[in-house]
Amino acid sequence: MAPDVRAALDDCREMIRRGSKSFSLAARLFDPATRDAAFFLYGWCRYCDDQVDQFGKNESPAELHRRLQALRARTAAAFSPGPQREPVFIALQHVARRYQIPAHYALELIEGMAMDARGTRYATLEDLLLYCYRVAGTVGLMMAHVMGLREERALRHAADLGIAMQLTNIARDVIEDASMGRVYLPLDWLSEARVVPDEIAEPKHRSALAGITRRLLGEAERYYRSGDEGLWHLSFRSACAVAAARRVYSRIGALLLRKGAHAWDERAYVTGARKLGAVSLGILGVLRSVPARLVSPWSPAPLRVIWRASNFQ
C-alpha cells in the first residue's frame, strides 16, 4: 500500500472510531482487505456528510449550487486517473480502482446529500425511498463491489439493506431532525395523522408520531428481509459482518417500537451487552448457512450492471 494511501487509511480509521462504534464493531468481522476498503468508503462518506452539514441555511441557491457542484467535481475526479491530494479522496480513488466501483453510486450519494442541503421534504413514501436509496442504498451497492456477490441480481438486496438502515435512522432521529427544520416523514402520512410538519417536535404529537414511525419501521422491516436474502450471495465473513450490522440497527427499531410515544425522551441506542447479543444473533444466522455453503462454495461474479433508482420503480 502506497504511503499516501496508508495515511488515508489511518485517517479513515480514526473517523470511524469517533463516528460509529456499531459499524466499527461489525467491521471487525470482515477479512483485513475488505475491512480496510470499508473504512475507506466510510471516511469519504463521513467527510461528504460533514461538508454538507456545514453548508449555511442562509446561503443563496446559487451559492449552494456552487458548493455542491464543487463536491461533485472532487468526487468525480477521484474516479479519473489524476492524482488526489486530500486523504478521503485518495481513499475513494484507491477503493474505486481496486474494486471497480462505478462513479454513478458516489455521485448519486452526493445528490442525496444535496436533497438534505436544499431542505427537501417528501410528499410520499416513494419520494422518501428515493432519498434513502441515494444516501444509503448506494453505500450498500459500493460495498457490494468491495465484498463481491455470487450473482448480479443480489445488488437489489445490497441497496435494500441500506434503505432499511436509513429508515431506522429517520425513525430514531425524527425529533432531533425536526428541531433543525428537517422533515423526512412522508407528508401524506403526517396529513393523515393531522400533524403539521413544522410542529413535529411538539410534545402533543408524540402519540401520533409513534404511530407514524411504527408504520415507517414496518417498511424498514420489509427492506431488512430483502437484505437478509442477500447474505447468501456474500462470502462467509462478509455475511457475518453485514448480518451483525443489520441486527444492531434493527435492535434500534425494536427499542423505538417498545417505547412508543416515549421513544424520543432520550436518544435510542443499543447498550454494549445488547449490541454483542445482536452481533451474535447475526453470526448465528449465517452459521446456519454453512452446510449449503459447503455444497455451493462462494465465488464472486463480475458486477457489470449499474443499479439505478429506476430499478425500484
Total-model pTM: 0.94
Report the pLDDT averaged over residues 265-280: 90
Q: What is the pLDDT of residues 259-268, one digit of tens each?
A: 999 999 998 8
**Residue 40 and residue 94 in contact, taking contact as beta carbons nearer than 8 Å:** yes
**Residue 164 and residue 128 in contact, taking contact as beta carbons nearer than 8 Å:** no
Q: What is the pLDDT of residues 147-167, one digit of tens each?
A: 999 999 999 999 999 999 999
The boundaries of every CATH 1.10.600.10 domain in the chain are 121-313
Q: What is the pLDDT of residues 88-147, one digit of tens each?
A: 999 999 999 999 999 999 999 999 999 999 999 999 999 999 999 999 999 999 999 999
The confidence band for 253, taking pLDDT boundaries of 50, 70 and 90, is very high
Q: Which of 51-60, 197-206, 268-277 has the lowest mean pLDDT?
A: 51-60
How much is the pLDDT for 313? 55
| Contacting residues for 306 by C-beta, under 8 A, at least 6 apart | 102, 104, 105
Mean pLDDT of the chain: 93
21, pLDDT greater than 80: no
- Which CATH class, in words, describes the domain spanning 121-313? mainly alpha
CB atoms within 10 A of CB 214: 15
